[in-house]
Chains A and B, each alone.
Chain A
Amino acid sequence: MENINLKPSSNDDPGDVIIPEIFEDKITHSVINNFFVEVTSLTIFTLRFFKELFKPPYEFNELMKQSFLIGYRSLPLVAITGFIIGLVLTIQSRPTLAKFGAESWLPAMVAVSIIREIVPVITALIFAGKVGSGIGAEIASLNVTEQIDAMQVSCTNPFKYLVVTRVLSATFMLPVLVVFADIIGLLGSFVGVNIKGNVSPYLFFSQIFQTLEFIDMFPAFIKTFFFGFAIGIIGCYKGYTSFKGTEGVGKAANSSVVFGSLMVFIIDMIAVQITSFFQN
């Protein structure tokens, strides 16, 4: 029989819950194990997605429906966010640039910030909040109510119908949303510039396109496909593997948003490293 030390050390806070050393080790092991199990499951899930993607039949109608729901329906939210980002960024940047007498650089600076980084990331986070959680909760509720099992019984491939369509929609709709958010963000910036100044639209956009280069546009655009894919696949995975019960639905929706947002930042960091490698 193992001797379990339950006595707290003198440094322990009296209010702390005392966990025996042996259990602490087990909990640590369990967290690490769970992490690797989760990574493996997600990898297998992603590989299955690619396998099912190219295998007929194709669910075009469901793909259109999901694209409409995921893309078109998210446009108002993304548009408002983009406009506010452009407006606020311009108003906040003006005093600093004015100190150096460089107010004329405001459109160019804001445009590069918006197109390169801020709008893709913020739009992806909004997308993760709206779409990621929606996908996670929807698939989890189908799982809970055993509708996925029912689909299998009725000879419909639930993975193809539910996962492939949603992941594809998320992957291709997020870049379109980001393009709209970029334009609306620049319009917000134009309004911001004209609150305290007087710049014609022609001069404003001319200054922007004088500064922008392909290296500002393409990496930012390409990474949004990865953002969309990550948000879609994580939402589907969390929903598809949720445990039974209503609690599972909430947990799937929550973890879809959390892990989706985290993946957005991780992908963004990798994308910046790759871009700067090619830039230098």
Chain B
Amino acid sequence: MKKSISNKIKLGIFISLGVLVFIFGIYFVGERQQLFRGTFRISGIFRDVAGLQVGSNVRFSGIDVGTVNNISIVSDTSVRVDVLIEESTRIFIKKDALASIGSEGLMGNKILIINPGTGGKREIENNDIVGTVQPINMDDIMLSLKKTIDNSSNITSNLSSITGNIQSGKGTIGRLLMDHSLAQNFDSSIVNLKQGLFGLKNLMDDTKISFANNFDSTFVNLKEGSEGFKLLMKKAKSSWLLWGF
């Protein structure tokens, strides 16, 4: 009889503990989904939710503050996303807050990111609709990447053709780099130029000497001329023919 009671007590503890553990599990999971906290609801309209799911986290300043509550298609170009956010964060989220879709790391789940908005605005209210930033579609990135790759391919192909032409001596640069006669001509031009400059120098030297000599004799003649003219003027002054002037 005693043993039977002891067994019943053990069984009672066993079942109670099991149920308690299960309830704790539910509580902790529910806590994460804001089932036991005050929340408010806001919504955003997206063109494409990029794989966001009901239950995905809502992040504000890097902290998980809520979860996506509902996703519904409004029209062929718009999807409405309803989120539940902790009441305590409401004071930080303003009327002009923006919602965007991001991801947790490179391979992580999609999350909804709330940008708080400007400080001067009023705080957001329950059931408000916030502005959204359309997510960058992976397909668009791939399309753009494909264009870039095509362009790169064309550029490398052109470069290859240009280097081929240069190597075979075609075109101005090719001839400049690959034609040996041009270099020889250039050499002989330099030699000629050098010789020409040397001749010019000699000519200039000769010219300078003769010019200096001529200049000296010109000055001597001029001096002699002016002395003669002075004498002539003196004689003229003393002549009776020019009296009265």
Judge whether B29 and A213 touch: CB under 8 Å.
Answer: yes
Bound Cα distance from A65 to B18, whole angstroms: 18
Q: Per-position contact with A for B60-86: 1 when CB-CB < 8 Å, else 0?
A: 000010000000000000000000000
* Residue from A64, A100, A179 in contact with B11 in the complex, judged by beta carbons closer than 8 Å: A64
Judge whether B22 and A68 touch: CB under 8 Å.
Answer: no
Bound Cα distance from A214 to B32, whole angstroms: 11
- What are 23 A-B residue pairs whose CB atoms fall within 8 Å in the complex? A64-B7, A65-B4, A68-B7, A68-B8, A68-B10, A68-B11, A71-B11, A71-B14, A71-B15, A72-B10, A176-B14, A176-B19, A179-B18, A180-B21, A182-B21, A183-B21, A209-B29, A209-B32, A212-B28, A213-B29, A213-B55, A217-B26, A221-B22
Known: A75-B14, A209-B29, A213-B29. A179 touches B8 (CB 8 A): no
Q: Which of B10, B22, B28 has the most CB of A within 10 A?
A: B22
Q: Per-position contact with A for B1-41: 1 when CB-CB < 8 Å, else 0?
A: 00010011011001101110110011011111100000000
Which chain A residue has the least Cβ–Cβ distance from B7? A68
Which chain A residue has the least Cβ–Cβ distance from B25? A217
Which B positions have Cβ atoms within 8 angstroms of A? 4, 7-8, 10-11, 14-15, 17-19, 21-22, 25-26, 28-33, 55, 64, 107
Q: Per-position contact with B for A47-80: 1 when CB-CB < 8 Å, else 0?
A: 0000000000000000011011001100100000
Which chain A residue has the least Cβ–Cβ distance from B67? A213
6 closest cross-chain pairs (CB), A and B: A176-B18, A209-B28, A68-B11, A68-B7, A179-B18, A72-B14
Known: A176-B14, A209-B32, A210-B32. A65 touches B21 (CB 8 A): no
Judge whether B18 and A180 touch: CB under 8 Å.
Answer: yes
Judge whether A213 and B28 touch: CB under 8 Å.
Answer: no
Judge whether A214 and B22 touch: CB under 8 Å.
Answer: no
13 further A-B pairs in the complex, CB-CB below 8 A; given A176-B15, A212-B25, A213-B55: A64-B11, A67-B11, A67-B15, A71-B11, A72-B11, A72-B14, A175-B18, A179-B19, A179-B21, A179-B25, A182-B21, A209-B28, A214-B29
Q: Per-position contact with B for A81-102: 1 when CB-CB < 8 Å, else 0?
A: 0000000000000000000101
Please indicate the chain B residues that have their CB under 8 angstroms from the CB of A65 in the complex: 4, 7
What distance in Å separates the Cβ of A115 from its nearest Cβ neighbour in chain B? 8
Please indicate the chain A residues that have their CB under 8 angstroms from the CB of B25 in the complex: 179, 182, 212, 217
Which chain A residue has the least Cβ–Cβ distance from B105? A102
Bound Cα distance from A209 to B26, whole angstroms: 10
What distance in Å separates the Cβ of A125 from its nearest Cβ neighbour in chain B? 19
Judge whether B7 and A179 touch: CB under 8 Å.
Answer: no
Bound Cα distance from A6 to B239, whole angstroms: 181
* Residue from B4, B19, B33 in contact with A213 in the complex, judged by beta carbons closer than 8 Å: B33
Which chain B residue has the least Cβ–Cβ distance from A102? B107
Judge whether A179 and B22 touch: CB under 8 Å.
Answer: yes
Judge whether B14 and A212 touch: CB under 8 Å.
Answer: no
Please indicate the chain B residues that have their CB under 8 angstroms from the CB of A75 in the complex: 14
Judge whether B18 and A217 touch: CB under 8 Å.
Answer: no
Q: Which of B21, B25, B26, B64 has the most CB of A within 10 A?
A: B25
Please indicate the chain B residues that have their CB under 8 angstroms from the CB of A179 in the complex: 18-19, 21-22, 25
Bound Cα distance from A217 to B8, whole angstroms: 29
What distance in Å separates the Cβ of A16 from its nearest Cβ neighbour in chain B? 54
Bound Cα distance from A65 to B11, whole angstroms: 9
